[in-house]
Amino acid sequence: MASKGYADTAPGLLPPAPAYSKEVPHHNAVYPAPPNPGVPPVPPGYMPPPVPALMPAPTLALQPAGCPPGLEYLLQIDQLLVHQTFHLAELLGWEVRNSYSVKNSVGQQVFLAEEENNCCTLQCFGPSRPFTFHIQDNLGQEVLTLTRPLACSYCCFPCCLQDLEVQSPPGVPIGYVVQECHPFLPKLTLLNERRQPQLRIKGPLFFCSCCRDVVFEVKTLDESMVIGHISKQWSGFLREACTDADNFGILFPVDLDVKMKAVLLGACFLIDFLYFEERKGDKKR
């Protein structure tokens, strides 16, 4: 006899399983399969890392004669913010290659600066080390190269004064930053590509940066007028005590020669190495 309700089912056979209707949930409805095979699902609460805002590339029509390619970014701005990248190895006292992000006044990234150096030079010479910095724009093109030869950092001896060369494009000097001989005050001179003095930088007598900025004034050659500054910005107790990753602000006239703006950026890096970097175990100024 056929089972009740299944007249077409042969004796001794089970009835066929009913088909799933649209109302029956799929077995994977709670944890659905990833939409892209091979790509793991995003866990709940995951936040992707922030993407830095990039300064728009200037139009070629705005490039004046004599402006090195890639420095058009500096034509219409009067301020730069320089943020040194924090490396975890610094907490262990291990010297690493410095890197910086350079932004405009609204926080848009203008350049990225990466130091080229080897491990032996980093650990043996510390902040007195020679270096080469490669500065790239947002398109990955190297627009500036900074080179610093090895020299002692004792400014009271003329033979030990620091010298930084700024090149744009790489291999073509556009200016220099030279340390002046002075027993107490940090003083630097900015030179053009013909090594003719253009501007001077004068720092404070004391470098106590606790809870306040340290300001280096940018002056005319006769030091009668202040036209800008390079300031090492206070970053908070924890960051100041545990790392030597510093933040700087550079202010200059908007109509300053674009090459001198680039030389001022190089002066900021040299100031960081001369006065705010530290060796393993050294006390921060």
Residues 14-55 pLDDT 10s = 666 555 555 555 555 555 555 666 666 667 766 666 667 887
State residue 219's pLDDT score: 97
232 close to 252: Cβ distance less than 8 angstroms: no
Lowest-confidence region among 62-71, 153-162, 167-176, 237-246: 237-246
With CA atoms as reference, report the closest residue to 114 among 93, 85, 90, 149.
85
Distance CA 210, CA 198 (A): 32
Higher pLDDT, 87 or 275: 275
With CA atoms as reference, report the closest residue to 260 among 216, 198, 171, 215.
198
State residue 121's pLDDT score: 87
Q: How confident is the model at residue 78 (pLDDT cuts 50, 70, 90)?
A: very high
Distance CA 147, CA 266 (A): 9
Query: What is the SS3 assignment for 195?
Result: coil
Mean pLDDT, rounded, of the chain? 80
238 residue type, one letter: L
Query: What is the SS3 assignment for 18?
Result: coil
Distance linking the first and last C-alpha atoms of the chain: 100
pLDDT of 100 > 70? The answer is yes
> What tokens appear for 126 in the block?
């510390």
Distance CA 212, CA 263 (A): 25
User: What pTM was estimated for this model as a whole?
Assistant: 0.76
With CA atoms as reference, report the closest residue to 174 among 266, 101, 269, 60.
266
Residue owning tokens 């006239």 = 253
Lowest-confidence region among 157-166, 211-220, 235-244: 235-244
Going by their DSSP bridges, the two strands 187-192 and 173-179 should be labelled as antiparallel
Sign of the C-alpha dihedral computed for residues 218, 219, 221 and 223 taken in this order: negative
State residue 234's pLDDT score: 73
Lowest-confidence region among 1-5, 94-98, 252-256: 1-5
